[in-house]
Amino acid sequence: DTGVSQDPRHKITKRGQNVTFRCDPISEHNRLYWYRQTLGQGPEFLTYFQNEAQLEKSRLLSDRFSAERPKGSFSTLEIQRTEQGDSAMYLCASSLAPGGVVPSYEQYFGPGTRLTVT
Amino acid sequence: AQKITQTQPGMFVQEKEAVTLDCTYDTSDPSYGLFWYKQPSSGEMIFLIYQGSYDQQNATEGRYSLNFQKARKSANLVISASQLGDSAMYFCAMSRNTGNQFYFGTGTSLTVIP
């Protein structure tokens, strides 16, 4: 496993449709994060998982957003009833929580999924 | 509340010269981590360097060094011997003690001039 992968890389959808993105983290990483990045801004934290538990959610994450990591490996981020304001790059990152074999805070990012809502 | 501030929206540097990208942060946590990431035009975020709040020495990774001044709450990135491939957006970020949430600045766009 050479890195974090995300699928799809690009998604164009019509307003009101539901979309789902997938993230496959680095295999030995137990933490997985979702971020949203709009043009000219840094990534904004959305949520994170440690193993299969969703431990924190940003207030940015409205009830139209839901994320899962059912087996503590890959994760999905679903946006229901998309709005034009949801257009952004959605980034996934993974890391190894402190206390692991090689404790580290560094996050490794995937290539992102660019969502365009028309 | 945690906050990262990058006050330089754009910077230019001559190839082979050094450049400093500024970052200040605000936190009340006693323990935290500071990071720099590079984001080329292709979009991927590339981890460059990490500094823990209790680390006594400034972090270095090849041509990258982090000038950590805890009392001033600054964590500037120094890139030595700039290369054309260094042209990219650079983001400063901070994690809370347990690394459960990361806060990013708005970034600095670096252009290396041949």
Q: What is the pLDDT of residues A21-37, one digit of tens each?
A: 999 999 888 899 999 99
- CA angle A32/B27/B100 to nearest 5° reads 15
Give the span between the Cα atoms of A18 and A113, in whole angstroms. 15
Q: Min CA distance, A32 vs chain B (Å)?
A: 10
Give the CA radius of gyration of chain B.
13
Q: Who's near B5: CB < 8 A, 6+ residues apart?
A: B23, B24, B25, B26, B105
**Is the Cβ of B21 closer than 8 Å to some Cβ of chain A?**
no
Give the span between the Cα atoms of B58 and B52, in whole angstroms. 9
- Which chain A residue is nearest to residue B5, measuring alpha carbons? A42
* Cis ω for the linkage preceding A70 (within 30 of 0): no
pLDDT confidence of residue B96: 79
* pLDDT tens figures, B45-96: 999 999 988 888 999 999 999 999 999 999 999 999 999 999 999 999 998 7
Q: Taking a C-beta distance cutoff of 8 angstroms, is the pair B10, B111 a contact?
A: yes
- Which chain A residue is nearest to residue B95, measuring alpha carbons? A105
Give the span between the Cα atoms of A31 and A105, in whole angstroms. 10
User: In chain A, which residues touch B (CB < 8 A)?
Assistant: 31, 33, 40-45, 48, 50, 55-56, 89, 91, 93, 95, 97-98, 104-112, 114
Residue spans of chain A under pLDDT 50: 100-103
Question: Taking Cα atoms as reference points, which of B62, B94, B103 lies closest to residue B75?
Answer: B94
**Is the Cβ of B28 closer than 8 Å to some Cβ of chain A?**
no
Question: Taking Cα atoms as reference points, which of A17, A22, A21, A65 lies closest to residue A45?
Answer: A65
- Among B4, B100, B104, select the one facing A55 at the smallest CB separation: B100
Question: Taking Cα atoms as reference points, which of B104, B113, B95, B87 lies closest to residue B31?
Answer: B95
Name chain B contacts of A106, Cβ cutoff 8 Å. Answer: 35, 47, 50
Mean pLDDT of B15-33: 93
B101 and A56 in contact by Cβ < 8 A?
yes
Tell me the CB-side half-sphere exposure of residue A117, using CA atoms within 13 A: 17
pLDDT confidence of residue A103: 43
Query: How far, in Å, are A71, B25, B31, B56 from residue B70 at the CA level?
Result: 40, 10, 11, 10
Q: Who's near B8: CB < 8 A, 6+ residues apart?
A: B21, B22, B108
Give the span between the Cα atoms of B100 and A11, in whole angstroms. 28
